[in-house]
Amino acid sequence: MSVHNRPSPRSPAASRPSPAKGRGYSVKECFLTLQGEGVQAGSRAVFLRFAGCNLWSGREEDRATAQCRFCDTDFVGTDGEGGGKFASAPELASHVERLWGDGAERRLVVITGGEPMLQLDSALVDALHESGFRIAVETNGTLPAAEGLDWICVSPKAGTEVVQRSGDELKLVWPQDGIDPVELEQWDFDHLLVQPMDCDDLSKSIEAAIALAMERPRWRLSLQAHKVVGLA
């Protein structure tokens, strides 16, 4: 198993909130699907979405003043498919394993949010690895990534301080005022992806994303295939 060993720019112990002992994990939803976007698009995966985010409350009345205003995800509460409260890392890892079903090859769990680094800790990383899973995360990068992850995807948001500037995949939702793609090219990522913002004028977002990929060949166009084919 290949484990991501790039150091975070800040010490996780000093910079990333640790779940309080005995607090457990709050999961919005958890289900088996195909990864819909990014380099690993099309891969069978258990999708684990943590509740909560540090850039937006998730309430529509707060969107206009949030640091991230274009989120298209419901991450509030624990009432989604396969969601709930989990008291321990082994309990949550067992839940993920049951959803995967039979077969031990190429097990993949994609952990997202909200912001997964508010809850993801070494205990859960270890428990998922012990269950044979490769662990991919999708994060806004404002908190250092947990140690031992197999795949780190960072999606930066304009106006925020991104501290996780290394990983496997940098996914830029485009267009965003206040982000310079040229600057992002200096960060330490293996893959640079530009993804059209899912907004009222999607056609213009697609045009802008295509234009960026054409102008700067390090960037590759990424589409949300799960929305095209009707997967969750």
pLDDT tens for each residue of 181-217: 999 999 999 999 999 998 778 899 999 999 999 999 9
Question: Of the residues 47, 50, 75, 133, which is catalytic?
Answer: 47
The model's confidence at residue 56, banded by pLDDT at 50, 70 and 90, is confident
Q: Can 72 be counted among the known catalytic residues?
A: yes
Identify whether 75 is a catalytic site residue.
no
* Domain spans in the chain, listed from the N-terminal domain onward: 24-229
**Residue tagged active-site, from 138, 150, 168, 169:** 138
Where are any strands of DSSP class E within 14-165?
25-34, 44-50, 84-86, 108-112, 134-139, 151-154
Q: What angle do CA 42, 3, 101 make, to 5 degrees?
A: 50
198 is known as an active-site residue: no
Q: What is the dihedral of CA 185, 12, 55, 68, to 10 degrees?
A: 10
**Facing residues of 109 across strands?**
46, 135
Range 178-213 burial, b when 16+ CB lie within 10 A, else e: ebebeebeebebebbbbbbbeeeeeeebbebbeebb
| pLDDT tens-digit series, residues 123-166 | 999 999 999 999 999 999 999 999 999 999 999 999 999 999 99
Catalytic residue selected from 62, 72, 188, 207:
72
- Does 226 participate in catalysis according to the annotation? yes
Element (H or E) spanning 15, and its range? Answer: helix 12-15
Residue 31 a catalytic site member = no
Known active-site residue 4 = no
Question: What pLDDT sits at residue 3?
Answer: 56
pTM (2 decimals)? Answer: 0.87
Taking only the tens place, the pLDDT of each residue in 5-42 is: 454 443 343 344 444 445 799 999 999 999 989 999 99
One-letter amino acid of 148: G
Report residue 181 as tokens.
Answer: 């793609």
Candidates 31, 129, 160, 226; catalytic one: 226
Q: Residues 125-128: contacts with CB within 8 Å, 24+ apart?
A: 125/149, 126/89, 127/89, 127/90, 127/92, 127/93, 128/93, 128/96
The domain defined by 24-229 carries CATH number 3.30.70.20? no
Q: Which of the following is catalytic: 30, 37, 53, 153?
A: 53
Residue 32 gets the label, from left (phi > 0), alpha (psi -120 to 50) or beta, of: beta
Higher pLDDT, 231 or 17: 231
Strands 188-196 and 25-34: unpaired
With tokens 């082994």, the residue in question is: 90
Query: Residue 48: beta bridge partners?
Result: 30, 111
Of 68, 75, 97, 189, the active-site residue reads 68
Answer whether 43's CB lies under 8 Å from 34's CB. yes
Give catalytic status of residue 50 as yes or no: no
| 72, 53 contact by CB (below 8 A) | no
The predicted structure's pLDDT at residue 20: 43
